[in-house]
A and B are shown apart, each in its own frame.
Chain A
Amino acid sequence: MGPGFSFPRPRRRRRRGSYCLGMIEAHGLTKVYGDTKAVDGLDFQVKPGRVTGFLGPNGAGKSTTMRMILGLDLPTSGAVTVNGQGYRGKVWPLREVGALLDARAVHPGRSAYNHLHSLAAANGIARARVDEVLDEVGLTSVAGKRVGGFSLGMSQRLGIAGALLGDPEILMFDEPVNGLDPDGILWIRTLMRSLAEDGRTVLVSSHLMSEMALTADHLLIIGRGRLLADTSLADLIGRHSAERVDVRAADAPRLAGDLRAQGAGVSVEPDGTLQVTGMGAVRIGEVAAARGHVLHQLRDVTASLEEAYFRLTDDSVTYRAPAPGTTEFAGPSPVTAASAPSAGPRAASRISEARA
């Protein structure tokens, strides 16, 4: 199955009763383990026809939330419904929701075909459908092989075949691209996009903003179990990209002093570039002209999505290595705050500069 395939199915957004088919809704969803709040009062809706990225650092509560959606973990308080009903009350759930939680959660001694056949039988799904989904994910040739010998990529495809089995309106994938080769990543991305274009609801979790930027239309960002943002991708970039201006000048130290005197925040990069915040390019140019500076470069820098994400989740990362040494900054600014904690965001901001 190459990256170019698609699902030739009719758009399937329908209304049934008072709720929209294909909705996942959480109200005050909370899960407490001992004295840790893994999920803390989540309210959100996941809607059909788009890929919703469920984004947060490791340990933020993404998997716990997904398990509660599937009725595997019971919420400490609050509730989550799928198509307006709690999951545990469903009789044929695979026809409504398909989920891939853990690709390795199979009996290693069972064949791919028998694994899927047992799932199909459990939900009254025709046996012919097993062959169909095996074909859709490209596992037909290994259908009779024991899944213990499958590579991670093959297991992931098998898990996705299981999710597609009941032709459900709603699909959930927990970190589906983890450990996949570029080919497999591209395949899953294309699959999720085509499922959403089909009118289905797609919820996909990830801890990688860069991955979500390529797949998701909408983002639910959580950190330490709390909802930090419920936003479209475009809005997130718009709201959280603190602008900064990079300036290169013949006498950088003197310009830095002059700009600071005018109230700007300035940090000096090792290569002599000045990163200026709190002052627009026009005003910087005016100040430079008034003080007789020779400018080599004056450039607006837009923060990357990665930076926006780090800024949002900065306080909510549960596990983190100590920060490496950082460049000295003249004053607190959104950009410096985002760049400070680790090498990651700094590298990301470099990339965004290169693109700018």
Chain B
Amino acid sequence: MTAAGLRLRATAGSEWIKFRSVRSVPAALLATAVVVVVGGLLVTAGFRSGWSTMTASERATFDPTFQSLHGVELAQLFVGALGVLTVTGEYTSGLIRTTFAATPQRAQVLAVKGLILGGVVWVLCTVASFAAFFAGQVVLTAPARHASLGDPGVLRAVFGGGVYLLLIGLFGCGVGALLRRTAAALAALFGIVLVLPIAVALVPGVLGARLNEYLPSTAGMEFWTVVRTGGDALGAWPGLAVFALYVVATGVAALLLLRRRDV
């Protein structure tokens, strides 16, 4: 193995030990999985019991896949916080100095941190998304409409739940590395992901709607939506691309700043 390869393997080994040796990490991951499944169950059960009171147009635009994955919206709080804390936790304790003294290849450290978190979140949340989807479709008994994996766009949307949470986790890492303080990074992340869409919705007319499409979370959600209601939506793949662009841009900015900043 080359020297660079050995260095990368050592960084990965070290970060993996760190990742798995703190109790809060498995706790947050377990909470994420539970929220994805239980959240989906609650939402679909609500639609099932309210089906008789829904109007014809509401029934026509009902998206059984999206609704069964609704827990993802709640789970992004856990995944985003986990992403932020993975990075800021080292800064607030001062451990980052020990980390960078052991591995002066800072960009590699941050990239590996992101990859480990992202990998674990992706696997877990993909499994949780499938579980939530199947549980949701079981709940949605006739006369309510339900979806199956073979329907157009459904498989992509169910995978989309895991992909969306993976990107939220990475977004959290990037914002955490940029701001380095837990409170500031959490506020910024959830401000962008949760509050910004609400604020932009207050902008009147077409402008508000157009802006909203290009917000990170709105664009990202497109990837786990099957039935679109309005005309003003980016669509699944463009939506994913826009969201990923935000995440990549944040990550690149964090990596560039990391080289020059004092710790």
Q: Which residue of A lies closest to B20 (CB)?
A: A114
Q: Which residue of A lies closest to B7 (CB)?
A: A91
Q: How far is the CA of A89 from the CA of B11 in the complex (A)?
A: 15
Q: Determine if A2 is an interface residue (Cβ-Cβ < 8 Å).
A: no
B17 touching A118, Cβ below 8 Å: yes
**In the complex with contacts A110-B21, A121-B14, A67-B97 CB distance below 8 A:** yes
Q: How far is the CA of A121 from the CA of B11 in the complex (A)?
A: 7
Residues of B near A121 (CB, < 8 A) are: 10, 13-14, 17
**In the complex with contacts A105-B93, A110-B18, A99-B101 CB distance below 8 A:** yes
**In the complex with contacts A71-B104, A107-B89, A123-B21 CB distance below 8 A:** no
Residues of B near A105 (CB, < 8 A) are: 93-95, 97-98
With a 10 A CB-CB cut-off, give which of A70, A119, A122, A124 has the most chain B CB atoms: A122
Residues of A near B15 (CB, < 8 A) are: 118
Residues of A near B93 (CB, < 8 A) are: 104-108
Q: How far is the CA of A343 from the CA of B94 in the complex (A)?
A: 35
A72 touching B17, Cβ below 8 Å: no
User: Closest approach, in angstroms, between the C-beta of A155 and any C-beta of chain B?
Assistant: 12
Residues of B near A122 (CB, < 8 A) are: 10-11, 13-14, 99, 102-103
B13 touching A109, Cβ below 8 Å: no
A88 touching B17, Cβ below 8 Å: no
B24 touching A67, Cβ below 8 Å: no
Q: Determine if B237 is an interface residue (Cβ-Cβ < 8 Å).
A: no
Residues of A near B24 (CB, < 8 A) are: 109
User: Closest approach, in angstroms, between the C-beta of B107 and any C-beta of chain A?
Assistant: 11
Residues in B53-97 with C-beta less than 8 Å from chain A: 89-90, 93-95, 97
B101 touching A70, Cβ below 8 Å: yes
Q: Determine if A87 is an interface residue (Cβ-Cβ < 8 Å).
A: yes
User: Closest approach, in angstroms, between the C-beta of A56 and any C-beta of chain B?
Assistant: 20
**In the complex with contacts A72-B101, A91-B3, A104-B94 CB distance below 8 A:** yes
A106 touching B102, Cβ below 8 Å: no
Residues of B near A104 (CB, < 8 A) are: 93-94
The 8 Å CB contact of B104, one of A88, A124, A162, is A88
With a 10 A CB-CB cut-off, give which of A87, A88, A107 has the most chain B CB atoms: A107
B95 touching A124, Cβ below 8 Å: no
User: Closest approach, in angstroms, between the C-beta of A89 and any C-beta of chain B?
Assistant: 8
Q: How far is the CA of A162 from the CA of B99 in the complex (A)?
A: 11
User: Closest approach, in angstroms, between the C-beta of B256 and any C-beta of chain A?
Assistant: 14
Q: Determine if B262 is an interface residue (Cβ-Cβ < 8 Å).
A: yes
Residues of A within 8 A of B (CB): 67, 70-74, 87-91, 93-94, 97, 99, 101-102, 104-111, 114, 117-119, 121-124, 162
Which 10 residue pairs of A and B lie closest in terms of their CB atoms, listed nearest first? Answer: A105-B94, A122-B14, A114-B21, A73-B262, A121-B13, A118-B17, A121-B14, A122-B102, A88-B104, A109-B22
